[in-house]
Chain A
Amino acid sequence: DAGITQSPRHKVTETGTPVTLRCHQTENHRYMYWYRQDPGHGLRLIHYSYGVKDTDKGEVSDGYSVSRSKTEDFLLTLESATSSQTSVYFCAISDFGLAGVLSSYNEQFFGPGTRLTVL
């Protein structure tokens, strides 16, 4: 498996509290992603990063913010957690070969996940 770790692995928090999840990689991959996984919805993209300090929104970004101050770390913050944010959160990384996006293998490598419960 690629060198990706997530912390914490489990967290229980209360509604209204701030929460920060960390994704750390040792692969020097350029692209990093945060997903949430809920039954019946598969994996939904929250935010992603295409370089240090370069981030953009995914399809379910409301209530979440991210930061990437260095290549290896991508932080996901819930400013004020709500019960609807109870989920399993996965970080993923990818990179592209010199040939470019369309012709390169750009598989995503996933971290082990963080199970977040908001009471």
Chain B
Amino acid sequence: GQQVMQIPQYQHVQEGEDFTTYCNSSTTLSNIQWYKQRPGGHPVFLIQLVKSGEVKKQKRLTFQFGEAKKNSSLHITATQTTDVGTYFCAGQGPNDYKLSFGAGTTVTVRA
């Protein structure tokens, strides 16, 4: 199965700044999903990208899926304290109902 690598592991951000987290898969994916886990909580689905080169936005969050469908990124602009948590990418291979999760990027925000 595919392996999904995610960087950075930690991101310390000043409130108002932007940051990006990146995911790379060892194989071509059918889709990639992003989840957010607040401290002490459980992962919650954010979005799914399916098409090559796809870009989706959710307010201050921009998600991209690479042309080769092997990498993805999440960019957050004007970070707020509500953005604190761990962001996971999860890749799904062709004809597969399992997800391979990246290790996550844990975000802390300095007010």
A interface list, Cβ under 8 A from B: 31, 33, 35, 40-45, 48, 50, 58-59, 90, 92, 94, 96, 101-103, 105-113
- Known A33-B98, A108-B99; further 14 A-B contacts with Cβ < 8 A: A41-B103, A42-B88, A42-B101, A43-B43, A45-B100, A59-B1, A102-B30, A103-B50, A108-B35, A108-B45, A109-B45, A110-B44, A111-B42, A112-B42
Query: Whole-angstrom distance between the alpha carbons of A109 and B1 in the complex?
Result: 22
Which A residues touch B31, using CB under 8 A? 102
* Chain B min CB distance to A27 (Å): 14
A90–B30 CB distance below 8 A: no
**In the bound complex, CA of A31 to CA of B99 (Å):** 12
Nearest-neighbour CB distance to chain A for B96, whole angstroms, equals: 8
Are A101 and B43 neighbours in the complex by a CB distance under 8 Å? Answer: no
B27 within 8 A of A: no
Q: Are B88 and A94 in contact (CB under 8 A)?
A: no
> A56: nearest residue on chain B (CB-CB)?
B98
Complexed CA–CA distance, A103 and B102 (Å): 22
Q: Is B104 engaged at the interface, CB distance under 8 Å to the other chain?
A: yes
Which residues from chain B contact A44 at a C-beta distance below 8 Å?
101
State whether the Cβ of B72 lies closer than 8 Å to any Cβ in chain A. Answer: no
Q: Is the CB of B43 within 8 A of A96?
A: no
